[in-house]
Amino acid sequence: MSIISKLTNSWAQADGDEKRLVVKYAILTAFLFLPLFWAFLGVRNLYPIAAWNVMMAGGDLERGRSYCMLRGETISGETIDVAAIELTGALFSRNWTMVNAAIDNQSFKLKSLHPQNEELLRQFGGIENLPPGARIPDLLQAWGDIYNKREPESSPKRLKAIRLDMYRWESGRYSDYDKFIETWRKEL
């Protein structure tokens, strides 16, 4: 007997409850997999629909890349590295892209802008006049406050300023990883 006729027979023998269960599970499967196929075909992530395009393009040695270091200036005069994960651990694996997006002013490129961003854009007279990282000082202020809240008032490790140093790996070769580009600094 062919598989199809076996399936047809077992469907005919199933009672109402079983049939309902099969239909329900078929709908659940389609509900999950159809959007995933759509995302896969278009290589497009539209939350919560995911296309697993992690590292799909691979690395390119010829392409230069910028990156940032988060640093704090303590009241004792020291400059220390500050790990973003220890400040906003909830973002797990997303701190670096949050910074990149903020430097690129991506929150000013949305269809619907936050009212405060709309106001700032008006003040600057358009996105083309906005400096890179227009909201980075706000982010640095938040990170600085989180850091200092965890330190006792008398601690010499408290920060008087926090900054984001941007570097560039010009690339083309495996050396010269840290050409300085610019700094955003926030007094706390």
Partner 1 sequence: MAQGIINRVVPASPFALGVARFFVHGTFLLTTLITSFSALGSLPPTILRPTGAMKFLPWSFYDLLQTHSGMLTLKTVMLVSLLLSTAGFLTVMSTKTSLLLVLFYQGLLRSFGHFNHDEMIAVYFLVVLAFTPCGDAFSIDRRLGRIKKQRPAFAYAYPILLMQLLLAWVYFSSALIKLRVAGWKYLTPDNLPALAIFHSLDNLHDTAFRAAFWLPQVRQYLPIFVALVLVWELLFPLAVFFRRMRWWILGIGVIFHLSTLFLMNIFFPHQLLMYLIFVDWDRRKK
The least distance separating partner 1 from the CB of residue 137, rounded to whole angstroms, comes to 10
The reply on whether position 112 binds partner 1 by CB under 8 A is yes
Site for partner 1 in 1-60 (CB under 8 A): 3, 6-7, 9-10, 18, 21-22, 24-25, 28-29, 31-33, 36, 40, 43, 45-60
Q: Indicate the SS3 state at residue 35.
A: helix
**What is the C-alpha separation between 164 and 175, in angstroms, rounded?**
22
Q: In the set 23, 177, 179, 181, which binds partner 1 (CB under 8 A)?
A: 177
**What is the C-alpha separation between 99 and 150, in angstroms, rounded?**
22
Site for partner 1 in 129-158 (CB under 8 A): 135, 138-139, 142, 145-146
Q: Map residues 67-96 to x or -, x wherever contact with partner 1 holds by CB under 8 A.
A: xxxx----------xxxxx-xxxxxxxxxx
Classify each residue of 88-98 as buried b or exposed e, where b means 16 or more C-beta atoms within 10 Å of its C-beta.
eeeeeeebeee
Q: Indicate the SS3 state at residue 93.
A: coil
